[in-house]
Amino acid sequence: MKTVIVVHGGVWAIPDMLAEASVAGVKNAAQAGNAILRNGGTATDAVEKAVRYLEDDPTFDADHVMLTDRGASMFAEHIGIPVANDLVTELERKDWEQSNSYPDGVKKFFNTQWSHDTIGAVALDSLGNVACATSTGEIRNKMVGRVRDSPIIGSGGYADNRSGAVSCTGHRESILKVTLARLILFHMEQGKSATAAASLQYMGERVKGCGGAIVVSSTGDWAASFTTPRMAWASIKEDVLHYGLNPKEDFTERLK
């Protein structure tokens, strides 16, 4: 098999004064990665080498999309967001004392009555715009500094006016591995209904992950799907409230 590597330095209105350096940078990065491939190295090592080269080149940089750790706290303080002093509820404290460790793996947490505290919403407005929101208190005993799927665009949530919006919940690493939210919208772009697109079968088969997703299409088609024992969900469309908790439940109420 012939080896191939492709490198980019970002799409933006590159000024003339950076044009030559930008071209030279990506060429050098491509050669650095190609050297790995020619010596029998893996594609993973090759792209890592190329990207590290670009990271060290002052011609290239990144714009802000996601902030974490101290940077996020500094930004929040700068724009006046109040500090939350205590986000631990009594129920959470008791559950934490019971769990204590993580010896039985993720499935134990998703098949017990311990809460997981992820919430999400998707919506379609009268102008045809869609939006998603995902927020989480997260599973217990996670490592310090762990970034879950919720803030990762395309994993915990994704919205595109041309297709729809998705919010996901479940085993975070599995959702990250299959970029679940974007995968669901891709299926919708291929013509699948919200219900068919929201199938979590692929994630279960590919990475043994369980979870749930809520979906709304740009035309108002919606779905709520999950592979865990329960997921509380609700939807309102044309003054009809749908809701459920257990598998295959779909209760309805007409709103006044």
Residues 231 and 245: beta-carbon distance below 8 Å:
yes
Q: HSE-up of 46 (CA within 13 Å, CB side)?
A: 18
Residue 229: count of CB within 10 angstroms of its CB: 13
CA gyration radius, the chain: 22
Catalytic residue among 3, 68, 118, 179: 118
Residues 120 and 134: beta-carbon distance below 8 Å:
yes
Q: HSE-up of 180 (CA within 13 Å, CB side)?
A: 35
Six-digit token pair at 50?
Answer: 């190329």
Residues 213 and 201: beta-carbon distance below 8 Å:
no
- Return the residue matching tokens 């492709």: 6
**118 catalytically annotated:** yes
Active-site annotation, residues: 118
